[in-house]
Amino acid sequence: MQTRIAGCKFLVTAGPTIERIDPVRFISNHSTGKMGYAIAAELAARGAVVTLVSGPVALETPAGVRRVDVESAGEMWRECTELWPQMDGAVMCAAVADYTPAEVSPVKIKKGPEASPDLILTLKPTKDIAAGLGRTKRPGQLLVGFALETDNEEVNALDKLRRKNLDMIVLNSLRDAGAGFGGDTNRITVFTSAGTKTAYPLESKTAAAAHIVDMFFE
Ligand code: C5P
């Protein structure tokens, strides 16, 4: 199985996206990119040709990985849709913003008058990159997604697996201590489109990455 990974071309997305409001402010999330970087490192260590499309993070590029830095969901969408046709697989780890400001102010937004200080920001939805790749997936291409949930975890994960045409989805719950954003550990459950469910104990993100990659092409 691992011999099939050597030489394969993989796209990995990681980190948050940031969506500009004005020249000094943005909307983002708590993703640090650690899980995606661990997967990119694991794939490269097994001989895959890895392109890591990364939002802004404070991490070193893993050895042997080509990294493309992007900022917004729109930029990540453009890079990924262009790269996808030449890939054997993609692992969508990025915490992509679901909404972006409808307009970016070219100048710093000033405070409102004391009598009416509220600021209403209009947001528009971003494109779902994983779902876009799922729509154009060729036979033989492997598409893996992540689901970070706070409630109704399994139902939500299985719904995303189906809706985005994924082959595999990795669920982590913010309810689990030691899982989710920032830390060096995760507790994952992997669901496949073939109907399997595999739960792993709390482990390092490096160990979780190895478990995830072990399931590719099985
Ligand atoms: O729908 P939700 O954002 O929870 O789905 C999570 C999965 O979809 C992750 O694999 C994430 O990287 C991917 N995703 C994406 N583009 C978006 C939103 C999510 O690729 N705009």
Domain 9-99+121-217 belongs to what architecture? 3-Layer(aba) Sandwich (3.40)
Q: State the burial class of residue 2 (Cβ atoms within 10 Å of its Cβ: 0-12, 13-18, 19+).
A: exposed
Largest CA distance in the chain: 67
Which amino acid, residue 206? T
Sequence ranges of the domains in the chain: 9-99+121-217
Q: Is 19 in a helix, a strand, or coil?
A: strand
| 130 in contact with ligand 1, CB cutoff 6 A | yes
Q: In terms of Cα–Cα distance, which of 179, 147, 141 is closest to 162?
A: 147
Q: State the burial class of residue 133 (Cβ atoms within 10 Å of its Cβ: 0-12, 13-18, 19+).
A: buried
- pLDDT attached to residue 38: 97
**For residue range 156-178, what is the model confidence (pLDDT) as tens digits?**
999 999 999 999 999 998 877 77
pTM of the entire predicted model: 0.95
Q: Residue 212 pLDDT more than 70?
A: yes
Ligand 1 center–CA 95 separation, angstroms: 7
Pocket test for ligand 1, best of 76, 129, 148, 155 (most atoms within 8 A of CB): 129
Orientation of helix 205-214 relative to helix 34-45, angle to 10°: 50
- pLDDT attached to residue 148: 92
